[in-house]
Structure 1
């Protein structure tokens, strides 16, 4: 029970991600463009992330003073970040922007309930990338997982109940590309300066993403008056639920519950997104599609449940 607060922390973080697609569709409905939506999201997320980093720095400084640690000694205990570290983190944050742009753009062509399912294909894409890079064949549980994900995706996307003319292939392509980009983010983010405090890592990664976005989409909304309308509200909600709350809650909970359980709880993003698209956006989600969603969730959590069971069995036998 003592880990319950950490389980809830990761669960709420995952559910926060599931809210994003609905907010984006509502923003599009008000006439806002892709660069404006993503730009205000990252701007808000960047401000919140740096506020957290500053708060963390103040707390660390106060703690060191109470312990009688000088700034020079603090540098030996916790090495300071170099500009090389900062640049690496900024580069690691770039795939999040690409993922957001591809995913949010796909929402212009396909329903939010389908877009989130396509994004969730990052699960098997990550497995494929790792298998190719390490030159290792996937094990039986991984192969079974892939079949579940493919079958669940076909059902959840409504492929078996609709003609192919019903689907926008550009939207589907964008959704799948967002999954590829997200897979790259997962791979790179875990390797980018892991020794640095999560608050500082998050701040520099979001900053890198904001810089890239400003190059791709110059932030004209800062000067043409759009920011002070509903765009500011949409940007704040997207930044809060997408760029701030999940990283903070994951940083709190994952070290205590482990990556396996975090992967299981992270699947909560999918049903939340589908539920909101059904109730808020009034998208039609059939029983067959819900069956597909359940299969996709099963495909996501099964490998982690298998690992947890294998570890517990190994512990008992040893």
Structure 2
């Protein structure tokens, strides 16, 4: 029987089959030998051990379309990163870190700002100008007033989307609007494994019931399950940048690229060099100063992390 992993906790994997039954499964030892760990979002084959107790074993993991490292999930089409416009104010540093991580993993991103109902037009415009100009889809919503949710659902339709964001921005409330029985599903699972849902730190996949023919239906195809899915991931307050150096950081700021040919020096860092095309564009309002200021903060942070080989050489 084929299914899709909804959640994995302490070596147990909860697999939903095409007929919407959920089985608690263990992964066979062959996966450990192959250094292959099942992930949330994996399409798998299972053997049923006990139909009444809904127990089984994962016997096969089908080829993955992709695999994300942070968060560790599989078969994802896009990411929605949720921040609040106000209360709390968005951390541009944290947002840019997430965008860098998603770009490293070649995953399209939708930036979604919540609490539109208590934010000013100016606050929204500043965020729009900062991120729309660099090629991201920017969406403003109010989960409380349910504004903007129809547009968000259109962007989710027929895809598997990982939903991420810091605590306090309304991620749980949004999930409950998209999946009305999400609390019930999570509560039942938490009861079964005797853990409170608020203490878990795991990703979980939910089917979003959007009535739109095949895109909204829950059905199985030759290469796996199709429909609209959202993967809820734990809230984060920090995000480590990996495999990024001061020299490569600019590659993650795509809005710089157009103006780099105007820099006097090849390999310009856009920090201290004179006649810098990027800095000129910022002064002319063509590049967001918010983004550039954060670029400088991240650049300096990466430089500070680098060992000072010159001092070691003098010793």
Q: TM-score, normalised by structure 1?
A: 0.24
Decide which structure has greater strand share: 2
**Which of the two has higher C-alpha Rg?**
2
Please give the TM-score of this superposition, normalised by the length of structure 2. Answer: 0.24
With a CA cutoff of 8 Å and minimum separation of 6, indicate the structure with the bigger relative contact order.
Answer: 1
